[in-house]
């Protein structure tokens, strides 16, 4: 029962974080074209005022629940080595931890990333994680 509850919380946190990235990358950029740079700054700040209250905590919940779920899903390593599933899970875990660490350091410590300051790379990584989630069950 605990596994299902934690997995449900993990999925909701993923929807919040991924939804923000989709909205920011795909829709908010269009607002600037429609309203101009000055009005866009005002609209974006209004949007971000609410986002800052919800998205960073959901990212932390996402990472913590992922850390909890990982050992339960990963399984044991056989003498033959890692399976396809385990390799994909390791890649997913690395990308998720990187996103979580980047977001945590940026929001709570004010450490800005040296590269990729926009939300485009996190969106690409989230989409990659979603794809990995689906292909990990392929029999390879």
CA distance 69 to 3: 7
Q: What is the pLDDT of residues 15-73, one digit of tens each?
A: 999 999 999 888 887 888 888 889 988 998 998 899 989 999 999 999 999 999 999 99
pTM for the model: 0.86
CA distance 11 to 34: 33
């Amino acid at each position: 029962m605990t596994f299902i509850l934690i997995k449900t919380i993990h999925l909701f946190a993923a929807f919040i974080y991924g939804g923000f990235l989709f909205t920011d990358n795909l829709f908010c950029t269009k607002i600037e074209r429609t309203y101009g740079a000055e009005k866009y700054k005002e609209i974006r700040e209004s949007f971000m005022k609410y986002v800052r209250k919800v998205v960073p905590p959901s990212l932390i919940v996402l990472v913590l629940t992922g850390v909890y779920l990982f050992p339960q899903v990963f399984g044991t390593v056989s003498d033959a080595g890692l399976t396809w599933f385990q390799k994909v899970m390791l890649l997913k875990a690395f990308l998720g931890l990187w996103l979580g660490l980047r977001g945590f350091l940026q929001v709570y410590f004010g450490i800005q990333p040296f590269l990729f300051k926009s939300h485009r790379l996190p969106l690409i990584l989230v989409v990659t994680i979603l794809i990995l989630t689906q292909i990990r069950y392929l029999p390879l």
